[in-house]
Amino acid sequence: MKIHLLAATQLELSAITFEHPSVSKRVCGVGGASLAMDLIPYISVDKFDLIILAGLAGGLPSQSKLGEVVKINTDVQGDLGAFQNGKYIPFTSMGLIENKKPSTKYNICDDVLPELTILNSLSTNTLFQEATYNALRHAHYETQIENMEGAAFQEICEEYEAPYLQLRAVSNYIGERDKSKWKLKEALQHLDWVTTAYLKSIL
């Protein structure tokens, strides 16, 4: 079995202690563009049995607990739009881009780690502290968690027909920029436990 494990930062990748000859590990960089530049050269020429994106995320207080690891079902690009007159207007509503539901044909989240909650994620290049901005976007896209690379990851894996899994550990609540209130250490530790246990179970 050939598995490719990605994380946006060295901090996140180093937290996952599992090592195995069948698992290649790479830092893909922060944001969708960096992930795409890193992943496409590999996925376009190599065949992986599974690609895993593991990392931290912000969650909504009513939908997740700090330190919790969740599986991601759909991940959408949540900053292709405009805030106007107190509303969030996506570019799809302006006719600038096609409005299509993300495909999950190659997402294996339904088939593994049944003890984990499945959430939908919003990917963004800008993290807002203002609760109103966050609420408008998450309400529109019906998402419960927030990261920066997942939408690009999902779209690329679907395009190249590669089985994939996105695991996110909730280190903070969305909009909370005071890092003294984050559970960074716990989130990284739980991410290691879950990812390591899963990899051991399939290798």
User: What is the share, in percent, of the chain residues with pLDDT greater than 90?
Assistant: 76
* In the block, residue with structure tokens 């250490």: 185
In terms of C-beta density within 10 A (0-12 exposed, 13-18 middle, 19 or more buried), how is residue 18 classed?
middle
CATH number of 3-202: 3.40.50.1580
**How large is the average pLDDT for residues 6-27?**
98
**How large is the average pLDDT for residues 109-132?**
93
36 pLDDT exceeds 90? yes
- Among 56-60, 94-98, 185-189, where is mean pLDDT lowest? 94-98
Label residue 170 by pLDDT band (50, 70, 90). very high
111 pLDDT exceeds 90? yes
pLDDT for res 158: 97
Higher pLDDT: 109 or 134? It is: 109
Q: How does DSSP assign 118-140, residue by residue? A: EEEEEE-SS----HHHHHHHHHH
Label residue 79 by pLDDT band (50, 70, 90). confident
CA atoms lying within 13 Å on the CB side of residue 86: 0
Higher pLDDT: 80 or 12? It is: 12
pLDDT for res 96: 72
Label residue 192 by pLDDT band (50, 70, 90). very high
- Among 164-168, 174-178, 188-192, where is mean pLDDT lowest? 174-178
**How large is the average pLDDT for residues 85-104?**
81
How does strand 145-147 pair with strand 50-59? Answer: antiparallel
Domain map (residue ranges) of the chain: 3-202
56 pLDDT exceeds 80? yes
pLDDT for res 181: 92
**How large is the average pLDDT for residues 145-171?**
97
Q: Which tokens hold the place of 175?
A: 């909009």
Identify the CA nearest to 26 among candidates 47, 55, 49: 55
Residues contacting 141, CB < 8 A, separation 6+:
76, 78, 120, 122
The Cα–Cα gap between 31 and 89 comes to 22
How does strand 164-173 pair with strand 3-7? Answer: unpaired
